[in-house]
Amino acid sequence: MKSEAWWPGKAVSSSKVFIYGSLLEGCRNHFVIASARKLGTAETNPEYDLVDLGEYPALVAGGQTSVKGVVYEVDADLLAVLDEFEDHPNLYHRVFIQLLDGQEVQTYLFPRERLWAQTHVDSGDWRTYVQARQS
């Protein structure tokens, strides 16, 4: 969802984005989104798979896992940075999804037909999974 905030001379557009992987706090790529306003933790409806692709995960539609993450409010400039970082629309696709609490947000989905790994993160929690993998 987009909201408009008024600033003298211009409108600033923002979007809610659900983050579930390497951009989370404590993970290797958090610096990319660190300047955004954190709105809180959230979970997807149990309609996805979270798959380990090595250095980062893939959120894939058509599964049965409720994936844990965080919702951030990002402006148009940061959304463009995230699109580039996630290689949207070439690798990941930015789409609207509905979260368990009913919020509609954007996130980055990976096309199931392009998966090269099948290691599922059964807990749906990337940060906990990575911590356990490093132990």
Asked whether residue 118 is assigned to any structural domain, the reply reads: yes
Measure the CA–CA gap between 38 and 70, rounded to whole angstroms. 7
Asked whether residue 82 is assigned to any structural domain, the reply reads: yes
pLDDT of residue 10: 46
The answer to whether the Cα torsion of 22, 80, 109, 37 is positive or negative is positive
Asked whether residue 129 is assigned to any structural domain, the reply reads: no
**CATH number of residue 106's parent domain:** 3.10.490.10
User: Is the predicted pLDDT of residue 6 greater than 80, yes or no?
Assistant: no
Asked whether residue 59 is assigned to any structural domain, the reply reads: yes
Specify the residue for token string 């993450």: 69
Asked whether residue 130 is assigned to any structural domain, the reply reads: no
Global pTM? 0.89
Measure the CA–CA gap between 123 and 66, rounded to whole angstroms. 8
Asked whether residue 31 is assigned to any structural domain, the reply reads: yes
Asked whether residue 132 is assigned to any structural domain, the reply reads: no
User: What is the extent of the structural domain holding 45?
Assistant: 2-122
Q: Can you tell me the mean pLDDT for 55-66?
A: 96
Distances (CA, A) of 105 to 44, 111, 118: 10, 18, 26
Q: Structural domain tally of the chain? A: 1
Task: For 89-114, write each residue's pLDDT tens digit.
Answer: 999 999 999 999 999 999 999 999 99
Asked whether residue 133 is assigned to any structural domain, the reply reads: no
